[in-house]
Structure 1
Amino acid sequence: MPSDCVTFQNSGYFSKIIIDYLNREKVLQPLYNRFPNLESFKQQIEEKQSNFNNETRHILVETLKSQYHKLKYAENSLANIELLKENNTFTITTGHQLNLFTGPLYFLYKIISTIKLCQQLKKQYPEFNFVPIYWMATEDHDFEEINHFHLENKVIHWNQEGNGPVGRRTTEGLDQVYEAFAAHIGIGKNAEQLKNWFKEAYLNHDNLSDATRYLAHQLFNSYGLVILDADNHSLKELFIPHLKHELIKKDAIIDTQKSFSILKDYTIQVNPREINLFYISDSLRERITFEENQYRVNNTSITFSENEIIEELKNYPEKFSPNVILRPLYQEVILPNLSYIGGGGELAYWLELKEVFKTHQITFPILLLRNSVLLATQKQEQKRLKMNVTWSELFLKKEILINQKTLELSKLTFNFGTQRVFLERQFEALESLAYKTDKSFVGAVKAQKTKQLNGLNHLEKRLLKAEKKSHQDTLMRLALLQSELFPNGSLQERTLNFSEFYKEYGSDMIEKLLLKLEPLDHKFDILVL
């Protein structure tokens, strides 16, 4: 197992705002409630317990039971759903898009982080219950983001026309995708399991929401994961007061922008709109706007007066969908939730939202950066050890890594720092002399200084290039190892699909991840399979 630690901060793959959040920089502290550590959760429990009622719990439980009625072998999940009736039961939530066959690897890491944190909290606070929730992003509409996944340098792609929330999309055309996947994944016990999961999920379910629920359930049912589709009439009824507030008051934009003065030195992740809601149906998801004293559904002829849209909301709350600004609020209204676990981009926009929660008098959850993992085979680990390269070094940019290793391998010293200092001093003396004798020579002296220093830099680069050539085989093997672990110079977890590893390691892969990950440690995990 690797001995060197790669923190999120020194991995080189996280934004300034996330690094500053992890470092608990004072500038960001007004934008969140509590920092994620075990001790913070006791106060979070007390605060959430005081403003989450039993009526909401009852509606949540009944909705989840309805969504689970077709799933087999769901005893652990159903037991957790029953626990949600009790006021000493709380949730830890992660959310994710309905990516085809889970999409990138970090789908697993989000959910495993959530399950593991629930287990740790139960040990710390045995008098309470903690239920892991996977919030399916069924109301999203960006089909192009979710209609493919990468498998061994091949893109498995699903073509389908249509609009509206992705969770309501039919699974039409996925029989052809299955054939392409089955042909590529090959044979073997684990390959057959993957093919069966794909076939059952996408060919035996009518819509993408049900298909995704089935697949996530197969992967995590033994850990009691509860999968929620919030595109639901009963759950939206609970959110009506907040939806009405947004339609009439339109103050989420003001609340969100209050954070922008604090975030002035950071990249703003999302920008609010005057009304942060969509109007949806099976084939429609368009923004609600307010123009000339009328509510309009963008790119349609649908309009409402204020009274009409409030009546529409009362009768059909499921037609109103929160955008990225209000979706977090919806989640925290309907769940007895303590913490949201997400990626860097997600946490960046959550940090804009505390004032929105304050206006709606809803407890702001603890924000936790999900676990990140680099998976390596035993063969890759042996290569790493043989080349005497640390995991921290493998996280470096390719050019920096190669230059650094060239210097280590070389028996020569060709850092001309000493010579550079000598030249600087010599030309300082010449400049001083020129000022005292003939100032017209100062420019010539400076030009010569630049020429000499540039020549020194050129010689240094030529020597480095020559040394790279003499160690070409070793450096090529190093570059190849890094490219295997960081495909296309990016994080493995953002590209590869879990099936690439599951085919080889089966359920042991998930078990090892569950043992390895420590959600509150804030480090980049390396797992040698």
Structure 2
Amino acid sequence: MDATYIDYAETGSFSPTVVNYLKNDESLKPFYGFRPDLDGFRQLLQHKKNTCKRSILIEVLNAQYKKLPVKEVSDLTRTYLDLLNRENTFTVTTGHQLNIFTGPLYFIFKIVTAINLAKDLKIEFPDKNFVPVYWMASEDHDFVEINHTQIGGKKIAWNEEVSGATGRVLTKGIREALNQYKGILGIVEHADELSEFVETAYAKFEKLADATRYLVNALFARFGLIIIDADDPRLKKEFAPIIESDIINQNSFKNISETNEKLEKAGVHIQVNPREINFFYLLKEVRERLVFEEHRYKVLNTAISFSEEELKTEIADFPERFSPNVVMRPLYQEVILPNIAYIGGGAEVVYWMELKSNFDFYKVDFPILILRNSGLIVSKRSAEKAANMGLTLTDFFQTTNILKNDWIQVNSQNQLQLSGFQQELNAVFSRLKLHNIKIDPTLGPSTEAIQKRLEHAVFNLEKKLLKAEKRNYQVRLNQIDQIKAELFPGGNLQERNENFGLFYVKLGSKLIDGLIANFKPLDFKFTILTE
């Protein structure tokens, strides 16, 4: 694939806060640690505290990888698992929910960014090791956010009533959605390969977390990607002291609320708001909020409650029953991993900025925040159509109406802008006004009013001329609609809507290779990839 790079600001699709972060805006500096560049990593590595229990981390990861067939675990993955035992090995982490069939394209883009950043850091710091990690958001309970995907403009949904952590959801009810997805993939080119991946993932593995691990590993094992499910009692035990302190003292609520006030004053749109207690209580099919009411810690929508002493005992004996919410999950991640970078989308980068003071409070290193690579995959046919019309692919980031109007203005053989005629009319009315004022000074305003009405009439006539010329070029303008629909399905960036499936059917593993070859994590450019 050929790559073209443009600034994120040029896309019009990213928040001012993210753009300002990349520009090193002074007002945002209090809300993160080191800059997202090689010098920032150099500084962080000099200050990094190795506090995670590597032996426990390796124990958990090895147990989880035993759930995969031995032949599916690559040699590079095994090498990275061994390297995690060493104090000079660090992780580069991205995380996401367990979207079925991987969800939108940016799921894939996140992981590629992590893989590439780990490679780039190894080149810059050869005496250290860097391992790419995908953190499965297996404790998330919002099933309706992950139970569907868009592929080829069609929505595939897994319609089932479930509760509790999504990683524990049984896959037995996904068969209808699985068949629909495979049906859209078809039987050509690399469809069989991807069909086998998803069939094995969702039909051979009982739980959604295990199915997701298989599918992601099938796509990325050759790059050594480590996949972690943090829904594990051994890992939660490492986090237990913070769980207890935060629930009882409500530290995160105080710290993050104060930070959010400062961010709002800096003009930042707040992404998440903390609660007084930022943990859920987690059982087999239950993930409900903990609240403090009437001097007891209660689990909403259940009869479960604890005194303070009972709560401390419960955390000590069953730490796995306490699940961090969106503002505490990042802290949990950084406690159990030797992590130096978190890769997320624009909204994630902003909400991590809300958390810096809480990391400082608990004396946990804050990772460098990396905006994931974003991209657009353009078919050869659409690229050729755009070129034949004299359009660049970056032109398509404009609205359809502006794009069409500009194209008509450039390509029409007729004069569609009446500004020249308007100037002549204005000159006539200037003379007419002088003439009328000599006769009766009160006629000046009347003449100006007539002039304004005529200006408005000329403006409307110009719009009619443009509309008429559009009809003359309707076939060409329809091509703009077709290209726009491919690049911005549903009016959004392709990566936020479309699944990777049909691209994989066409390109196979070369799709991933193309992303690996062209995504540059620390350049912070939007990537347009053309077949």
What TM-score, normalized by structure 2, do the two folds share? 0.93
CA distance in 1, matches of 2:37, 2:426: 52
1:317 counterpart residue number? 319
Residue correspondences, number: 526
Paired amino acid for 1:470: N
Q: Tell me, which stretches of 5 or more residues in structure 2 are unaligned?
A: none
Distance 1:141 1:494, change over 3 A: same
Question: Residues 400-411 of structure 1 correspond to what in structure 2 (within 5 A)?
Answer: 400-411=402-413
Cα shift at 1:448: 4.1
Q: Does 1:46 align with 2:63?
A: no
Paired amino acid for 2:91: T
2:21 counterpart residue number? 21
Cα shift at 1:332: 0.8
Paired amino acid for 1:34: F
Q: Does 1:176 align with 2:176?
A: yes
1:363 to 362, 365, 369: 365
2:269 to 267, 270, 282: 267
Paired amino acid for 1:237: K
Distance 1:125 1:275, change over 3 A: same
CA distance in 1, matches of 2:43, 2:327: 25
Whether the 8 Å contact between 1:5 and 1:392 is mirrored in structure 2 is no
- SS of the residue corresponding to residue 61 of structure 2 reads helix
Distance 1:184 1:392, change over 3 A: closer
1:386 to 382, 385, 388: 388
Question: Residues 333-352 of structure 1 correspond to what in structure 2 (within 5 A)?
Answer: 333-352=335-354
Q: Which moved more, 1:126-135 or 1:340-349?
A: 340-349
Whether the 8 Å contact between 1:286 and 1:299 is mirrored in structure 2 is yes
Distance 1:319 1:447, change over 3 A: farther
Distance 1:5 1:189, change over 3 A: closer
1:65 counterpart residue number? 62
Whether the 8 Å contact between 2:490 and 2:497 is mirrored in structure 1 is no
- Cα-to-partner distance string for 1:308-336 (whole Å, 9 max, x where unaligned): 11111111111111111111111111111
Whether the 8 Å contact between 2:189 and 2:506 is mirrored in structure 1 is no
- SS of the residue corresponding to residue 263 of structure 2 reads coil
Cα shift at 1:471: 1.9
- SS of the residue corresponding to residue 506 of structure 2 reads helix
Question: Residues 155-304 of structure 1 correspond to what in structure 2 (within 5 A)?
Answer: 155-188=155-188, 190-259=190-259, 260-264=261-265, 265-304=267-306
- SS of the residue corresponding to residue 258 of structure 1 reads helix
Distance 1:111 1:4, change over 3 A: closer
Paired amino acid for 1:112: V
Distance 1:236 1:470, change over 3 A: same
Paired amino acid for 2:271: Q
1:458 to 460, 467, 479: 460
Question: Residues 390-469 of structure 1 correspond to what in structure 2 (within 5 A)?
Answer: 390-417=392-419, 447-448=449-450, 450-469=452-471
Cα shift at 1:447: 4.6
Q: Which moved more, 1:282-291 or 1:407-416?
A: 407-416
1:89 counterpart residue number? 89
- Cα-to-partner distance string for 1:99-144 (whole Å, 9 max, x where unaligned): 1111111111100110011111111110000000000000111111
Q: Which moved more, 1:172-181 or 1:276-285?
A: 172-181
Distance 1:435 1:247, change over 3 A: farther
CA distance in 1, matches of 2:304, 2:511: 50
1:521 counterpart residue number? 523
CA distance in 1, matches of 2:415, 2:92: 55
- SS of the residue corresponding to residue 280 of structure 1 reads strand
- Cα-to-partner distance string for 1:503-523 (whole Å, 9 max, x where unaligned): 111111111111011011111
CA distance in 2, matches of 1:252, 1:182: 44
Q: Which moved more, 1:452-461 or 1:61-70?
A: 452-461
2:375 counterpart residue number? 373
Question: Residues 139-150 of structure 1 correspond to what in structure 2 (within 5 A)?
Answer: 139-150=139-150
Distance 1:253 1:441, change over 3 A: farther
Paired amino acid for 2:27: V
Q: Tell me, which stretches of 5 or more residues in structure 1 are unaligned?
A: none
Whether the 8 Å contact between 2:98 and 2:137 is mirrored in structure 1 is yes
Cα shift at 1:449: 5.2
Cα shift at 1:228: 0.4
Distance 1:422 1:266, change over 3 A: farther
Distance 1:90 1:436, change over 3 A: farther
Cα shift at 1:145: 1.0
CA distance in 1, matches of 2:526, 2:263: 28
Cα shift at 1:181: 2.8
CA distance in 1, matches of 2:50, 2:167: 28
Whether the 8 Å contact between 1:109 and 1:372 is mirrored in structure 2 is yes
CA distance in 2, matches of 1:411, 1:367: 51
Cα shift at 1:62: 0.8
CA distance in 2, matches of 1:415, 1:3: 36
CA distance in 2, matches of 1:380, 1:444: 54
CA distance in 2, matches of 1:470, 1:307: 79
Q: Which moved more, 1:359-368 or 1:486-495?
A: 486-495
- SS of the residue corresponding to residue 162 of structure 1 reads coil
CA distance in 2, matches of 1:110, 1:84: 21
Cα shift at 1:266: 2.8
- SS of the residue corresponding to residue 263 of structure 1 reads helix
